[in-house]
Amino acid sequence: MSRQSEINRRRTFGIVSHPDAGKTTLTEKLLLFGGAIQVAGAVKSNKIKKHATSDFMEIERQRGISVATSVMAFPYRDLQINILDTPGHKDFAEDTYRTLTAVDSVIVVIDVAKGVEEQTEKLVEVCRMRHTPIIVFINKLDREGKDAFDLLDEVETRLGLRVTPLSWPIGIGQDFKGVYSLYEKKFIHFKAHGKQEEEDIVEISDIKDPRLNQIAGDRLYNQFQQDLETVHGVYPEFSREDYLSGRICPVFYGSAVNNFGVRELLDCFVEIAPTPRSRETEERVVQPYEEPLSGFVFKIHANMDPKHRDRIAFFRICSGEFKRNTNYYHVRLGRQLKFSNPTSFMASRKEVIDEAYAGDVVGLYDNGNFKIGDSLTEGESLHFKGIPRFSPEIFRYVDNGDPSKFKQFAKGLEQLMDEGVAQMFIKEESQRKIIGVVGALQFDVIQYRLEHEYGAICRYEPLTLHKALWVHARDQSKLDEFKQRRRKDLASDMEGKLVFLADSAWTLRLVQENFPELQFSTSSEFGE
């Protein structure tokens, strides 16, 4: 098969949602239908010794939440499907933002009872900024929840998306009878036995087919007829071109935990979802069908297998073909690297591969060469744009809790910071280390992983700060004056960039007034 044909087979997408909307469950069921796994994990069950395939870290199993992005690849209908399952918890939003730079489209999962939630709004805003195609899956239809039209209104008003339903529910909660696929013109009968069978699917070309009335009953059948009239009258017809450009957003209904509506979502997705898209670099736009390889690291994870102390860089291929045991140019380091065991992912299960193509995510074993945002090419100097790092919101001093484990403490902190778990700043005056995070749960993750993966103990001390801001200046003399006057409030990040630690909003305003020539930024791109 030609390289272009291989690239056209790729469908790389992320699944995002607020916590507990059913995102990880949906991921499991997509893997089930794709034949990638045989039994779904019981994500939050303490009784069953199975866990969600995509939640592989011990702390994730204990808490029943996803705190790291997982990559899962599997073939389906002669296509190569790459799913990136992201953390839903807001405390790990940065990992999700970076993952969204590596996908070509997104499925947003919404709980039918809770509707659109705060974290979903933030993630969709990032997708809209990037013009990423979005499909919405409204989940848990077998439970009592909001009216289908109310949910569509909520998606449009709160997420700023123009929706077009491609399936429609008949009933909800205890009255839930099934979903009619407007895309495939068929009805899928819901039976609460936890497994969707082929015989549950009724091919119906005419929505007035009496079989629908028999299944739904007069009241729900009449309501369904009225609903469809409204759908056809109010919402735009589906157009793949409009979907790919981000102008419309298809909506599906179902119940992931019951395998219901998932196959219809997957079958439609593989037909309409984009093939690998172009990527912007500081130098030019990279097209996926270009012959030379290029790509970037969007995530680093240490100790995916604690027994082997491995460190893996997640590398998104943006153009060309990646080949095992081939020299590639590491742009930041300015030297050639060769990879003898590049891997594909099935959550924590990995397989060595000989080649991969634009759209794929490859795991590269790393002994410290990579940082988030690094580029690999066949010689061209490319710097991929839009891999964000945001100003933290909570800060603490971090100290080594066991003097005899100084090396383990230093190594563990450095590797966790390289992963982007949190950000570390070194105070200019005292050289004390400060950890900055988006949410407090990240402190627990760092402490847990230092102890269980590196054998180190850390202690935290409270620190009240308003913001950590990156400082940029064109006039070196003004920067030198600023450094002299505000030395006690200055720090450097892991890349040596200057950071101003503002203890209050008032202090920040004062400094901005006194130094109008300087720029204070709440975000920084990796590798800048």
3 state DSSP class of 344 = strand
Query: Residue 190 has what pLDDT?
Result: 76
pLDDT in tens, 232-256: 999 999 999 999 998 999 999 988 8
244/272 Cα distance (integer angstroms): 8
Residue-range domains of the chain with CATH: 14-66+104-272 (3.40.50.300), 279-377 (2.40.30.10), 391-525 (3.30.70.3280)
Q: What confidence category does residue 489 fall into, taking pLDDT thresholds of 50, 70 and 90?
A: very high
3 state DSSP class of 226 = helix
Contacts of residue 86, Cβ cutoff 8 Å, sequence gap at least 6 = 14, 15, 16, 23, 66, 69, 95, 96, 99, 100
- Judged against a pLDDT cut of 80, whether residue 466 lies above it is answered with yes
146/52 Cα distance (integer angstroms): 28
Question: How much is the average pLDDT of 296-315?
Answer: 75
The label of the residue with tokens 């549950």 reads: 200
Contacts of residue 456, Cβ cutoff 8 Å, sequence gap at least 6 = 400, 401, 402, 405, 408, 409, 412, 450
224/356 Cα distance (integer angstroms): 46
Higher pLDDT, 507 or 349: 507
Residue 282 near residue 92, CB atoms below 8 Å: no
The widest CA-to-CA distance across the chain, in whole angstroms, is 82
* SS3 per residue for 372-430: CCCEEECCCCCCECCCEEECCCEEEEEEECCHHHHHHHHHHHHHHHHHCCCEEEEECCC
Total residue count of the chain as it appears in this document: 528
519/512 Cα distance (integer angstroms): 8
Pairing relation of β-strands 355-357 and 327-330? unpaired
Query: Residue 90 has what pLDDT?
Result: 54
Residue 294 near residue 262, CB atoms below 8 Å: no
pLDDT in tens, 128-159: 877 899 999 999 988 899 999 999 999 999 99
User: What DSSP string describes 6-31?
Assistant: HHHTEEEEEEEESTTSSHHHHHHHHH
* Percentage of the chain lying above the pLDDT 90 cut: 44
Residue 148 near residue 228, CB atoms below 8 Å: no
E-strand ranges in 9-104 read: 10-17, 70-76, 79-85
Q: Which residues, in sequence order, are bridge partners of residue 13?
A: 83, 105
Closest among 332, 364, 358 to 279, alpha carbons compared = 358
SS3 content of the chain, % helix, strand, coil (to 5): 30, 30, 40
CA distances from 170 to 60, 176, 178, 179, 517 (A): 36, 6, 6, 6, 61
Query: Residue 56 has what pLDDT?
Result: 42
Q: What confidence category does residue 37 fall into, taking pLDDT thresholds of 50, 70 and 90?
A: low
